[in-house]
Amino acid sequence: MPLAYQFRPGKGLASLEVTTLPSRALRPHEVRVAVRAVSLNYRDILIYRGEYPAPSDRAVIPCSDGAGTVVEAGSEAGRSLAVGDEVVGSFFPHWRDGAPSREGIAVSAGCNVDGWLAEEVVVDSRFLVRLPRGMAHATAACAPCAGVTAWVAMFESAQLKPGAWMLVQGTGGVAMWAARLAEARGIKTVVIGSDPTKAALMQPAGRTFVNYLDRPTWSEDVLQLTQGHGADLVLELGGKSTIRESLRALAFGGHVAVIGGLGGWTYDSMEYLQLITKMATAHGIYVGSARSLADLLAFVDEHHVEPHISARFSFRDAPAAFEALEAGRHVGKLVIELA
């Protein structure tokens, strides 16, 4: 029987353990996928800490992001996928396409349904995306959460064009994807962080770096670097600790993509007048649909974009991957490979 990792939401990393998965027959629209690569997200930490809205009454297989090979297809699944197809899972199993809905985002992989940290998974074929020919499993496995979040913020919500300015906070998965996509699309990027070496790994060319430890009023630097224009898009990842400077750095008519809250979720330092006088928009981004994932992968394939992977771990060493995620010294993504 295939192996899988499970943990209990709210019970900490110590609850992570290996278990065996009972085999069952496939329903008509399901496929069985041999997992080849899985990537981790900070969300996984929040789930096992009990800081994320996840059910705590049962163990869950973690990790929303995984890619692999179809090894068996149900009677109806064969219309769209075949044995041997390379696929990646979408973050929301019930959001295929179109505008978001309460029902579409009610269920997410690795949270209230099982994720991908297993030797094999059974998934509804309608919510899988076929990989472009030749794309590595690890590349695809880095995309469903962090990659789609950056994609939706940049191109579906803000609709950035070449030459626009974007402000990116930190060097995590979303920030890394945003920087790499911007480089491929001709979007100018200012990276706010504390380590210029990490920022350089995230986006080797075409970036401008501002150290927020040296420059706590870094919005002034952003305005100077953009010749007074400001950022057309701010990827707001810091939350309470960054929102004030983010709004001050924003361009007229700009967009703030509210994504994370690493510095706290209560925006008591938010200057709403900045939004009003700049006629700007603040919008929440909660990943995206399977269609957004497919569009992202097509762009990645066409423009030869590669996510920065700081470290790769074996399935056996999955606990060490979570420990590395908690330590926070990496840039971009951490990947667990099974083949």
- 28/84 same-domain check: yes
Residue carrying structure tokens 């890619």: 67
Tens digits of residue pLDDT in 7-50: 999 999 999 999 999 888 999 999 999 999 999 999 999 999 99
Most confident of 46-50, 169-173, 333-337: 333-337
Q: What is the predicted pLDDT for the residue at 201?
A: 86
Structurally, the chain folds into a number of domains equal to 2
Query: Is 72 among the domain residues?
Result: yes
**Which among 95, 246, 250, 235 has a CA at the least distance from the CA of 153?**
235
> Distance (Å, rounded) from C-alpha 329 to C-alpha 172?
10
Quote the percentage of the chain above a pLDDT of 90: 84
Tens digits of residue pLDDT in 256-297: 999 986 655 666 667 788 889 999 999 999 999 999 999 999
Cβ contact 140:37 at 8 Å? yes
- 151/216 same-domain check: yes
> Looking at residue 155, which CATH number applies to its domain?
3.40.50.720
- 189/249 same-domain check: yes
- 138/153 same-domain check: no
Query: Is 173 among the domain residues?
Result: yes
Residue 67 has pLDDT above 70, yes or no: yes
Whole-structure pTM value: 0.95
- 218/171 same-domain check: yes
Cα pseudo-dihedral 261, 267, 269, 273, rounded to 10: 120
- 56/96 same-domain check: yes
Assign 95 a pLDDT band (cuts: 50, 70, 90).
Answer: very high
Averaged pLDDT, 113-133: 96
State which H helix or E strand residue 73 sits in.
strand 65-73
Cβ contact 210:188 at 8 Å? no
Query: Is 43 among the domain residues?
Result: yes
Query: Is 300 among the domain residues?
Result: no
Query: Is 67 among the domain residues?
Result: yes
- 157/205 same-domain check: yes
Tens digits of residue pLDDT in 72-88: 999 999 788 999 999 99
Cβ contact 234:157 at 8 Å? no
Assign 52 a pLDDT band (cuts: 50, 70, 90).
Answer: confident
> Distance (Å, rounded) from C-alpha 59 to C-alpha 10?
10
- 185/93 same-domain check: no
Residue 139 has pLDDT above 70, yes or no: yes
Tens digits of residue pLDDT in 185-203: 999 999 999 998 888 887 6
Query: Is 292 among the domain residues?
Result: no
Q: For residue 202, how many C-alpha atoms fall within 13 Å in the half-sphere facing its CB?
A: 31
- 209/174 same-domain check: yes
Averaged pLDDT, 58-67: 96
Q: For residue 306, give both structure tokens.
A: 């590669």
- 124/183 same-domain check: no
Query: Is 295 among the domain residues?
Result: no
**What single-letter DSSP state applies at residue 48?**
H
Give exposure, 51-74, as e/b (b: 16+ Cβ within 10 Å): ebebeeeebbbbbbbbbbbbeebb
Beta strands 188-193; 207-211: pairing state: parallel
Q: What is the predicted pLDDT for the residue at 265?
A: 60
- 157/138 same-domain check: no
> Looking at residue 117, which CATH number applies to its domain?
3.90.180.10
Chain mean pLDDT for the chain: 93
- 128/153 same-domain check: no
Query: Is 15 among the domain residues?
Result: yes
Question: What's the domain range around 238?
Answer: 147-284
